[in-house]
């Protein structure tokens, strides 16, 4: 059984409103040195099945977990 | 300048409805071996300021980035 971690981020160039909000809030709290904040998703699950976990995870991302038009993803197998 | 990554997850025992939805959707697409799915947030930003980045990041989490009643966080400095 493998523990699969998928990081999903908006692609560079796509406006990240959550990131902008976090950046503004941290700056407002006094951390003026904060810049280029991005907020993404982290999806973790156990996978117990046939096939290579990395290849299966890639298919899951393409089909469901990431909107590949505006999001990129990175897969980690633990 | 440091690149700070903060992973925010619901604590174990707190119902993760997003995780349940992802698990159900993946199982519905045929990956019956998927279990214990959790969905968290990943917040990344550059930090250029006085003080230790790790200590500052911890304060940011406590004050803004995580709701410590129901969420736990992990900080990575790159």
How far, CA to CA in Å, does B20 sit from each of A19, A34, A35, A75, B11? 25, 34, 33, 20, 15
* Strand runs labelled E in A1-78: 2-10, 34-47, 71-77
Full set of structural domains in chain A with CATH: 2-77 (3.30.1280.10)
Is residue B78's pLDDT more than 90? no
Is residue A56's pLDDT more than 90? yes
pLDDT of residue A78: 87
How crowded is residue A31: how many other Cβ atoms within 10 Å of its Cβ?
Answer: 21
Among A4, A67, A69, A13, CA closest to A38:
A13
From chain A residues 27-56, the ones with a CB under 8 A of any chain B CB are: 29, 31-49, 56
Kindly indicate whether the ipTM for this predicted assembly is greater than 0.90, answering yes or no: no
B14-73 pLDDT, tens per residue? 999 999 999 999 999 999 999 999 999 999 999 998 889 999 999 999 999 999 999 999
Burial class of residue A25, CB neighbours in 10 A (0-12, 13-18, 19+): middle
Contacts of B41 in chain A (CB under 8 A): 39-42
Put simply, whether B7 touches A (Cβ < 8 Å) is yes
Q: Across residues A22-47, what is the average pLDDT?
A: 96
Put simply, whether B2 touches A (Cβ < 8 Å) is no
pLDDT of residue B50: 87
pLDDT of residue B53: 95
For residues A11 and A71, is the Cβ–Cβ distance under 8 A?
yes
- Which of B7, B44, B64 faces A26 most closely, judged by CB atoms? B64
């Amino acid at each position: 059984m493998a523990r699969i971690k998928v990081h999903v981020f908006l692609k560079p160039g796509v406006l990240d409103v959550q990131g902008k909000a976090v950046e503004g809030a941290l700056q407002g709290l006094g951390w003026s040195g904060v810049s280029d904040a991005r907020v993404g998703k982290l999806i973790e699950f156990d996978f117990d099945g046939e096939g290579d976990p990395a290849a299966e995870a890639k298919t899951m991302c393409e089909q469901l977990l990431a909107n590949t038009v505006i999001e990129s993803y990175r897969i980690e197998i633990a």
